[in-house]
Amino acid sequence: MAALLHLLPTLLLLLPSTPDATSSALLGISYGRVGNNLPPATSVPRILVSLGVSRVRLYDADPATIRAFANTGVELVVGVPDECLAAVSTPTGAASWVRSNIAPALPATKIAFLTVGNEVLTGANSSLLSRYLLPAMQCLHDALAQAGLDKQIAVTTAHNLGVLATSYPPSSAYFRKDLLPVLCPILDFHARAGSPFLVNAYPYFAYAEEPTGVELEYALLELGHAGVADPGSGLHYTNMLAAQVDAVYHAIGAANSAAARAVEVRVSETGWPSAGDANETGATPQNAARYNGNVMRLVAQGKGTPLRPSVPLRVYMFALFNENMKPGPTSERNYGLFKPDGTPAYELSYRLPQDNTTSSSGGGVAAGGVYNGHGYGSENGGYYSISTAGKATMGWWGWRQAAVAACVAVLVMQLWL
């Protein structure tokens, strides 16, 4: 017995620390669950290992899904669904939601962010939900603070690029004037709380809407493309995703110069469908493989955008699986990197390095049980235009650690016998 007690502390030191041993990867992936044929959540960490991704965005707080990531080191962004916004926009409601949905998962599961709603300001229910968005964000932040979790979990929301009135060229971008009364206080919130401004950015939509005006290689982020010059800033853009992100930075600067110095823009969704209807130009497996592979390559470089070169670009790819129950055109059901049976939907053109840890997370950020709408149609011309409104809406242990864990389990059992 004495020998066992002597060995136990040494063996415990060999186990991975949790939850502090969080990956500092810049790349994540959205895990949507709008399907009736998807694999169990417990199988997802193994799939993430094959991608080299250790950050996941969820669109709700389903307990079983969150539990599936316990003790894996995977960092979660947990969604507060649109239908919960009114309830969590009061201090009592927010505290109850955190107590019921977040607290039970800690500390086994690493939760870094709450995203309050998705594309609320441009969704079909924007007239009903917009008034709840900022109060919900503030109340949830306060509830986390009262629970001592605000340094661990930040609060934000994800926007459709339709919040922009114009986006071409990036230096001329500004927010829709009707949204400024909501967006300006939200930017103040981000600046005070230190949380990022999230945007769902899809070069695919710009290309699909203007295939004769947007070069496919530019939308696909292909290396070697000559790029597009911004005459206002003098900056040169070799891929559309960077241009879309910088358009948001410029819009923030135009709306709130103080927030512009403090708020980081991160991409909460981007992707390319591998199939679509006859009128959905460019939705092919080949283009999806090229785009998503290029996103992985771009993010792995750890570089920023032309406007913010010192701020590494952080991105969540959309999505992990094809989701057969999503409404809308065929493309909506074909954004997945994987089929529901766990096999790749296509072969990616790029693979992440084995250790996708190019920069520390800095406690920052970072889709689920509800329909995640993508906008269609555009009121803005130009290469950078995007939809103006959204629709309704493992790191597993290595064999050494596993062996040590087994030894620890045996020793603990012996101690109790």
Mean pLDDT over the full length of the chain: 83
Is 269 marked active-site? yes
- What is the pLDDT at residue 359? 36
17: pLDDT strictly greater than 70: no
Q: Two tokens at 400?
A: 């050494």
Strand partners, 155: 114
Containing H/E element for 270?
strand 265-270
Q: Are 348 and 294 in contact (CB under 8 A)?
A: no
The domains of the chain, with CATH numbers, are 1-16+402-417 (no CATH), 19-396 (3.20.20.80)
Which residue has 């190019």 as its token pair?
Answer: 358
Note the pLDDT tens digit of each residue in 258-267: 899 899 999 9
378: pLDDT strictly greater than 50: no
Mean pLDDT of 133-148: 98
Task: Give the span between the Cα atoms of 368 and 365, in whole angstroms.
Answer: 17
User: Which among 75, 119, 217, 280 is annotated as catalytic?
Assistant: 119
- What is the pLDDT at residue 356? 52
- What is the pLDDT at residue 355? 55
Q: Are 311 and 304 in contact (CB under 8 A)?
A: yes
- What is the pLDDT at residue 333? 98
What are the φ/ψ torsions at residue 337 (nearest 5 degrees)? Answer: -75, -20
Percent of the chain with pLDDT over 70: 79
Taken in order 40, 45, 49, 52, is the CA torsion positive or negative? Answer: positive
**pLDDT-wise least confident of 5-19, 202-216, 222-236, 348-362:** 5-19
Q: Two tokens at 57?
A: 């965005």
- What is the pLDDT at residue 281? 94
- What is the pLDDT at residue 349? 76
- What is the pLDDT at residue 364? 37
Mean pLDDT of 253-262: 92
Could you tell me which of 156, 112, 390, 392 has the C-alpha nearest to residue 264? Answer: 156
Note the pLDDT tens digit of each residue in 92-102: 999 999 999 99
Which residue has 């939601």 as its token pair?
Answer: 97
Q: Two tokens at 49?
A: 């290992």
Of 4 and 298, the one with more pLDDT: 298
**pLDDT-wise least confident of 139-143, 194-198, 331-335, 398-402:** 398-402
21: pLDDT strictly greater than 80: no
23: pLDDT strictly greater than 90: no
389: pLDDT strictly greater than 90: no
Task: Give the span between the Cα atoms of 206 and 198, in whole angstroms.
Answer: 19
14: pLDDT strictly greater than 90: no
- What is the pLDDT at residue 354? 60
Tell me how far apart the terminal alpha carbons of the chain are, to the nearest angstrom: 10
Of 51 and 60, the one with more pLDDT: 60
51: pLDDT strictly greater than 60: yes
Q: Are 326 and 269 in contact (CB under 8 A)?
A: no
Mean pLDDT of 112-129: 95
User: Which among 75, 209, 269, 323 is annotated as catalytic?
Assistant: 269
- What is the pLDDT at residue 25? 76
Angle value at C-alpha 186, between 172 and 135, nearest 5 degrees: 155
Note the pLDDT tens digit of each residue in 333-357: 999 999 999 999 999 878 777 655 4
Which residue has 């998705």 as its token pair?
Answer: 118
13: pLDDT strictly greater than 90: no
